[in-house]
Amino acid sequence: DGGITQSPKYLFRKEGQNVTLSCEQNLNHDAMYWYRQDPGQGLRLIYYSQIVNDFQKGDIAEGYSVSREKKESFPLTVTSAQKNPTAFYLCASSSGDTSGYGYTFGSGTRLTVV
Amino acid sequence: LAKTTQPISMDSYEGQEVNITCSHNNIATNDYITWYQQFPSQGPRFIIQGYKTKVTNEVASLFIPADRKSSTLSLPRVSLSDTAVYYCLVGDIAHSSASKIIFGSGTRLSIRP
């Protein structure tokens, strides 16, 4: 079945560490996105990529970095510069086709600073 | 940006019809209206999308008046498993920059027995 796989499901980070969240899709979608969700809040856009080897900052990109070397993969690194990284992170993808259904989301990674 | 306004929370009972309204006064000509459902600790999932009039699928109906400045998601005969957060998105997801598609706080729907 086609879909988006995020790993790990739970991740613990020590102060000062960089951690990388994985996102892989087999939907052949061109665009991929990273969102952050805090408890009781909506989704905020971190980074997005509409084509391989290109990506743009979203609303809250500070302290995060991404790469898009393959169409299928869009990993997110949470750097030590991100002062409050504890949150639920969601990866999504979409096709550029108006007959599509918008975003397909992964099941999320819950990151906790310990 | 097509800002949306929807109720923060709603309560209902099993077997009832639930209608959630979303206001989007500055919707653009090319914008679609898309609703997502999110359960705790899961990613949102697509429910329904429309441009005008009425759209129905096996899960819900979407009513859009002629001026398109609002839309109503209708869930028939809800069950406890419909307890979730519902997001209304307005935009041309296929062609717009993702920075123009805004997920607000959504509507937290609670269904009681």
**Cβ neighbours of A21 in B, within 8 Å:** none
Task: Tell which residue, B106, B4, B2, B18, has the closest CA to residue B61.
Answer: B18
Spell out the per-residue pLDDT of chain A, length 114, in tens.
679 999 999 999 888 899 999 999 999 998 899 999 998 888 999 999 989 999 999 999 999 999 999 999 999 999 998 889 999 999 999 876 554 557 899 999 999 998
Q: Does A5 touch chain B (CB under 8 A)?
A: no
Q: What is the pLDDT of residue B30?
A: 85
Q: Is A107 on the interface with B (CB under 8 A)?
A: yes
Q: Which whole number is the average pLDDT over B43-66?
A: 94
Tell whether A58 lies on the interface with B, counting CB pairs under 8 A: yes
- B34 contacts A98? CB cut-off 8 A: no
In one-letter notation, the amino acid at residue A27 is L
Number of H helices and number of E strands within chain A? 0, 11
Within 4-33 of B, beta carbons closer than 8 Å to A belong to 32
Strand A43-51 and strand A54-57: the pairing is antiparallel
Kindly tell me the sign of the dihedral angle through the C-alpha atoms of B94, B96, B97, B99.
negative
Average pLDDT over residues B65-82: 96
Give B104's pLDDT tier (boundaries 50, 70, 90).
Answer: confident
Question: In this predicted structure, what is the pLDDT of residue A25?
Answer: 97
pLDDT for B100 equals 67
Look at residues A20, A28, A21, A24 and name the one whose alpha carbon lies nearest to residue A5: A24
